[in-house]
Structures are given as C-alpha cells and as structure tokens.
Amino acid sequence: MIDQSREVFNDIPSLVRTIFYIAAAISIIVFFTGSWLRISTWFKGGDDPNDPVPKKSTLGLARISLLYIFSRDCLFAKRVVERSKLRAVMLLFVYWGFIVLFIGTIIVAIDYDMGADILKGGVYLYYSLVLDISGGFFIIGLLFFILRRYIFSRGAVVSAWDDAAVLILMLIIAVSGFCIEGIRLARFNPPSMDWSPVGAAFSVVIKAWIPDDGILLSLYRIFWVFHAATALFFIAFLPFSKQFHMFAAQITTLEAGMRKSKLMELVHD
C-alpha cells in the first residue's frame, strides 16, 4: 500500500491561515445566528389551545428538521422518483455528493485541528477516492440542474436570483476544489494520483497548459484563497437564501403528519 497522508495548508502562508480561521469562525457564527432567526420567525406566535400538536422550541424544531433531512424520503429522493427518474438520480448526485464532501471536510478538521492523525496510508487513499468520485458526481448533478433550469428550459424561467446563486456557488466551490487538487498533483506527481481520478484529470490539463512550477504555486495559492472565501461565504449566505426553505419544508411536513395522526387518534377514541 502506498504510504500517503493528508497535507493541510501546504504552501499556504501563516498569515493566510490565521485569516482563514478568523473568517471561518465569523462564517459559522453568521450561519447559526441566521438559522436560529429564520426558524424562530417561522414559528412566531402563541400556541393554539385547540391544536392537538403543541408548538416546539426553536431548538427542538431545528433538531426535528435535521433528523428528517436524513430520512428515507430525502436520502433516496422518493417523491422525485415518482415524477422523473433522471431528476431523482441527479438530485441524489447533488444530495449525496454534498453530504460526503461535508463529512470529508469535518474529517479533515478533526484530523488536522484535533491532531487525530487518521488520514494516512490506506485510510487516506480510500478517503481520497471516495471524495473524488463524490465530488465528480456532485458537479454532474449541479450542471444538470443549472443547464435544465437556466439554459434548456422549455418555458420562461421566473426565479429569484438566489435560486441560481446557491447552485452556482456550490459549483464554483466544487470546481475550484478540484483545481486546487489538480495543481497540487501537477506539481508533485505523487504515486497516489490514481486514487484521485477526477483531480488527476484536472492535473493533466493544468500541466499541459502551465508546466512552470512557480506559476503553478502562485495559482495554487490564488485558487486556495478563492475556494476558501467562496465556501465560507456560502456557509454564511445559506440561512438567508431561498433554498433554506428546505428546513421549513421538513418541519411543516413532519408537523402536518403528526397533527393528522393525532387527529385520527382523537376521532377513533
């Protein structure tokens, strides 16, 4: 097995690292604050004494929403399959790709910031392979929905600007991430390249166009900063976007089901 490990902040100046951590903290604070405010707004007002399902706290509603997002309906796009199998497959590419990449980012944070030292050897190779393939499917799914909605739409598209913004931001984050990986592979040509098939494809194109290592290093740093800034902006922006309604949809759907179930119990009692 190839002896490889995950290199974090490779060739990134210490000042840039410090700024990144500060920006990341701000982004996370904005995300949780915005999420809390949005969820609180959805359920403002007092409880109806005749409502068989009493209101829950903001924290409780957020927990229910997150749990429902990982239900079978969401994980396997059951409702979308009934309307279009192709859309369902592409939605799963986006959904699962996002989840895997998100988990991969958390693993990197645990490995580097907490000193877990788990991303090395065979674990790192399989980690790279899974994230690379997931990222590739993620991009395919995003391109499908962007092209279908905004390029090849059969009718006029009436849409808020942030509908496109969320999709485009995710696409930029994914593509810039592969550009960073491609530049790194083009510079160092590690023996583990075969375990990063999408990144390796990017590296072939990059190396063919830019063979100079000095230019590649500069591009690596530029893309790294751009990728990090875009990702942190996306995190902070998400609670204020129209797409955040996914959380509200899960809560209201679950509450409606609970209310119907409770009413049926009352009728049969």
Residue 18 lies in a domain: no
For residue 90, give the nearest of 24, 144, 153 by alpha carbon.
144
Beta bridge partners of 120: 5
5: left (phi over 0), alpha (psi -120 to 50) or beta: beta
- Residue 179 CB: number of other CB atoms within 10 A? 22
Question: For the chain, how many structural domains are there in total?
Answer: 1
Residue 96 lies in a domain: yes
User: Nearest 5°: phi and psi at 48?
Assistant: -85, 120
Residue 197 lies in a domain: yes
Rounded distance, CA 207 to CA 218, Å? Answer: 14
DSSP state of 11: T
Rounded distance, CA 42 to CA 9, Å? Answer: 40
Q: What is the pLDDT of residue 114?
A: 83
- Unique residue bearing structure tokens 């007002």: 45
Residue 63 lies in a domain: no
- Residue 143 CB: number of other CB atoms within 10 A? 18
- The list of the chain residues with pLDDT below 50 reads 1, 46-54, 260, 262-269
Helix (H, G, I), strand (E, B) or coil at 5: strand
Q: What is the pLDDT of residue 10?
A: 84
Question: pLDDT tens digits for 209-253?
Answer: 999 999 999 999 999 999 999 999 999 998 888 777 655 555 555
- What domain range is 89 assigned to? 71-257
Q: What is the pLDDT of residue 241?
A: 83
Rounded distance, CA 204 to CA 124, Å? Answer: 22
The answer for residues whose C-beta is within 8 angstroms of residue 58's C-beta and 6 or more apart is 36, 39, 40, 43
Residue 58 lies in a domain: no
Contact 175, 136 (CB under 8 A): no
Residue 55 lies in a domain: no
User: Nearest 5°: phi and psi at 196?
Assistant: -130, 70
Helices 161-188 and 213-237, axial angle in degrees (round to 10):
150
State the distance between the two ends of the chain, measured CA to CA, in whole angstroms.
65
Q: What is the pLDDT of residue 108?
A: 92
DSSP 171-226: HHHHHHHHHHHHHHHHHH--TTGGG-HHHHHHHHHHHHH---HHHHHHHHHHHHHH
230 membership: H or E segment, kind and range: helix 213-237
